């Protein structure tokens, strides 16, 4: 059974839980600090689903490139990069406070791409994303990983 087809409790106990975050921490060449919820081993002690979506979907990291600071949301992918609508809505609010980027990790091809929240919203508005439902109830938008890599603000292979 693939990771995406597992129930939440089974996903949480799987070694793939936070896999992309671990890769980010290993390969990201710039300074970073954890910012989001669920990035530590102790996070399972807190029922974060009771928080508002804005707080619950706080970007995973703060990173610094030169003198500039960015909020970075880490996401794993395979053939398409899925963005939950609730996360997009929350990141739109965070983006008003400080610029949000998505670090997308394609584990199959060992490739990363960094794309701005604004560009993701633009690609969706241009009709380049397919709409779907997680668990049959939570809306998301899926962009082909090739498009994310092509439109990325920066990215490279880390093989």
Q: Which pLDDT tens digit goes with each residue over 8-25? A: 444 444 444 578 899 999
Domain range spanning residue 43? 3-157
pLDDT at position 158: 46
| Number of structural domains found in the chain | 1
Three-state SS annotation for the chain: CCHHHCCHHHHHHCCCCCHHHHHHHHHCCCCEEECCCCCCHHHHHCCHHHCCHHHHCCCCEEEEECCEEEEEEEEEECCEEEEEHHHHHHHHHHHHHCCEEEEEEECCCCEEEEEEHHHHHHHHHCCCCEEEEECCCEEEEEEEHHHHHHHCCEEEECC
pLDDT-wise least confident of 15-19, 83-87, 101-105, 142-146? 15-19
What value does the mean pLDDT take over residues 100-115? 92
What value does the mean pLDDT take over residues 49-72? 93
- pTM attached to this predicted model: 0.84
Give the domain CATH number at 27.
3.40.1350.10
pLDDT-wise least confident of 5-9, 17-21, 55-59? 5-9
């Amino acid at each position: 059974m693939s990771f995406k087809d597992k129930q939440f409790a089974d996903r949480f106990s799987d070694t793939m839980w936070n896999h992309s975050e671990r890769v980010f921490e290993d390969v990201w060449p710039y300074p970073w600090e954890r910012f989001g919820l669920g990035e530590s081993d102790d996070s399972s002690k807190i029922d974060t689903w009771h928080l508002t979506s804005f707080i619950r979907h706080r970007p995973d990291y703060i990173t610094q490139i030169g003198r500039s600071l960015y909020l970075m949301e880490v996401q794993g992918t395979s053939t398409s990069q899925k963005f939950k609508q609730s996360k997009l809505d929350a990141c739109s609010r965070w983006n008003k406070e400080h610029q949000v980027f998505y670090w997308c990790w394609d584990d199959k091809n060992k490739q990363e791409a960094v794309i701005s929240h604004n560009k993701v919203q633009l690609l969706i508005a241009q009709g380049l994303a397919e709409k779907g439902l997680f668990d049959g109830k939570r809306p998301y938008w899926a962009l082909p990983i090739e498009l994310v890599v092509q439109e990325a603000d920066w990215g490279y292979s880390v093989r």
